[in-house]
Amino acid sequence: MSQVYSVAVVVGSLRKESYNRKVALALAELAPANLKLKIVEIGDLPLYNEDIDVDPPAAYKTFREQLRNSDAVLFVTPEYNRSVPGVLKNAIDVGSRPYGLSSWSGKPGAVISVSPGAVGGFGANHHLRQSLVFLDVPCMQQPEAYIGGAASLFDENGKLTEKTRPFLQTFIDKYAAWVERHQG
């Protein structure tokens, strides 16, 4: 009997009809049996402020606990202004504190960026990776996932198009192997 790994999925957009959220949900369906993906919500996290973290808001505590209870972390994010959206970076910051007690540490990770344009969120993808170095999140290198043309990923029924599905399947299968390699 093989181990099942829980993956905290962080989505970088709060928009209800977010393409990134849809990609995250599609990945949850495509994931092999040993990976269980679950979106961790970040929209209610107060902007990080060390002063209020002396007595942390409930939302900080819940978020950190969800991370600590996960075996791995997966980021699905748009690019805002050539970098990581503030809302996602704020979640990174909240999870990284208090100093010396980061909830991210050692959890194997991967990054997918999804954008409407052609560049596919390259800037957000690599800025996020720079933070993951500090956070000691070993990050899958290949396949890189810069997904442009977000509007054409799904058909009129909200299903992944045949053009997109094989890539996401490969991505999540390789990520499962990465997660397994980095346990223990």
Query: Considering beta carbons, is residue 90 or 169 the nearer one to a second copy?
Result: 90
Minimum separation from the CB atom of position 29 to a second copy (A): 25
Minimum separation from the CB atom of position 37 to a second copy (A): 22
Collect all residues with Cβ–Cβ distance below 8 Å to 184 and sequence separation of at least 6. Answer: none
The residue ranges of DSSP E strands in 66-158, in sequence order, are 72-77, 109-114, 146-147
User: 139 is written with which tokens?
Assistant: 């990050």
- Selected from 76, 132, 150, 176, the binder of a second copy by CB under 8 A is 132
Answer whether the bond into residue 98 is a cis peptide, omega within 30°: yes
User: 88 is written with which tokens?
Assistant: 């996602």
End-to-end CA distance of the chain: 17
Instruction: Decide: is 96 part of the binding site for a second copy (CB under 8 A).
Output: yes
Minimum separation from the CB atom of position 179 to a second copy (A): 13
Q: Is the sign of the CA dihedral 45, 49, 50, 52 positive or negative?
A: negative
Residues 29-68 close enough to bind a second copy by CB under 8 A: 43, 45, 47-51
Residues that bind a second copy (CB under 8 A): 13-16, 43, 45, 47-51, 80-94, 96, 118-120, 122-123, 126-127, 129-142, 144, 146, 148, 181-182
